[in-house]
Amino acid sequence: MSSVVARLENKRVIVYGGGTGIGLACAEAMAREGAALFLSGRRDAVLREAAAGLRKFGKVAYEAGDATAVDDVKRITRSAGDFMGGIDTIVVSAGAGGRTPIFDTDPEEFQRIIDHNMRPAFLAMRFAADHLIAAQPASVIIISSTYGLVGHRERAAYCAAKAGVNGLVRAAALDFADRGVRVNAICPGYVETPLSVAVARQEADPEAALEAKRRMHAIPRAGRLEEMGELAVYLASDLSAFMTGQAIVIDGGYSAR
């Protein structure tokens, strides 16, 4: 009888933004496939709960920190490398959004959204580069957005930030390409995470707001967390060894219209 081999057996993964939402979904999917995990995010209590739930699958630790802060990213990288004996996979699911029409957005709010989306991706790669190269084959997976590929009203900062993330992914992929490290982005459509549902609940008609988000896709529903996790597993695995520098769209056909 043949046994099924876990696709990420012996992989060592940092997940920034790993306590909730898409980051946690990626972490769980990777843990199920045999990866060791190191979670990071801003809230210690959220990370503690997430790590406790994931330990049934294998080796998991966490450390709180700000993914936009140089010293924090250095510290997290060092702790993760020590805990797992190296790093060969990074998932960056840290970011921020908000309403930013071009007419009245405060420049500081614009900059906040740019920084919270682009700096984590850059810093995570910058300070783990030596680990990734030493561990090759290695993979970096940045959670971007369909809005990095198409425009959207009143989302100037978020669209600009995610487009910048996609450009960073392409450039970093070329820097790393001959060093055994691949860099790709996942560009989801609307995914119903606890945060996105909470935002919709603030609308005058929450159910109508949720339904409008679902039906903006050609496939008329929201994306599912497990679908995002499955794509991340593929990008972390050696099955995707010839894929780098790509912004992979998983948006139910939204950007095809």
Q: What CA–CA distances, in Å, run from 195 to 22, 33, 63?
A: 10, 26, 21
State whether 47 and 161 are in the same domain.
yes
> Each residue of 44-99: pLDDT tens digit?
999 999 999 999 999 999 999 999 999 999 999 999 999 999 999 999 998 888 88
How many Å apart are CA 254 and CA 225, to the nearest integer? 17
Q: Is 234 a catalytic residue?
A: no
Query: How many domains, in total, are found in the chain?
Result: 2
As a 3-state breakdown, the chain gives helix, strand, coil percent values, each rounded to 5, of 50, 15, 35
State whether 156 and 62 are in the same domain.
yes
Question: What is the mean pLDDT of the segment spanning 25-46?
Answer: 98
The pLDDT, as a whole number, for residue 198 is 77
This prediction has a pTM of 0.95
Q: 256 in a domain, yes or no?
A: no
State whether 82 and 201 are in the same domain.
no
How many other C-beta atoms lie within 10 A of the C-beta of residue 106?
A: 9
Q: Which has more pLDDT, 169 or 192?
A: 169
- The residue from 62, 147, 158, 254 that is catalytic is 158
pLDDT category at 195 given cuts 50, 70, 90 is confident
State whether 244 and 218 are in the same domain.
no
Q: 253 in a domain, yes or no?
A: no
Structure tokens at 147: 């809005």
State whether 233 and 198 are in the same domain.
no
- Is residue 221 predicted with pLDDT exceeding 90? yes
Per-residue exposure over 53-80, b if at least 16 CB sit within 10 Å of its own CB, e if not = ebeebbebbbbbbbbbeeebbeebbebb
Q: Which has more pLDDT, 207 or 195?
A: 207
The pLDDT, as a whole number, for residue 1 is 39
- Is residue 3 predicted with pLDDT exceeding 60? no
3-state secondary structure of 34: coil
* CATH assignment at residue 82: 3.40.50.720
- Please, where are the H alpha helices in 155-193? 156-176
How many other C-beta atoms lie within 10 A of the C-beta of residue 52?
A: 11
State whether 83 and 209 are in the same domain.
no
The pLDDT, as a whole number, for residue 88 is 98
The pLDDT, as a whole number, for residue 188 is 97
Print the domain residue range for 216: 190-222
State whether 124 and 181 are in the same domain.
yes
| Span between the terminal Cα atoms of the chain, in Å | 47
> Each residue of 106-115: pLDDT tens digit?
999 999 999 9
- Looking at residue 240, what DSSP letter applies? G
pLDDT category at 2 given cuts 50, 70, 90 is very low
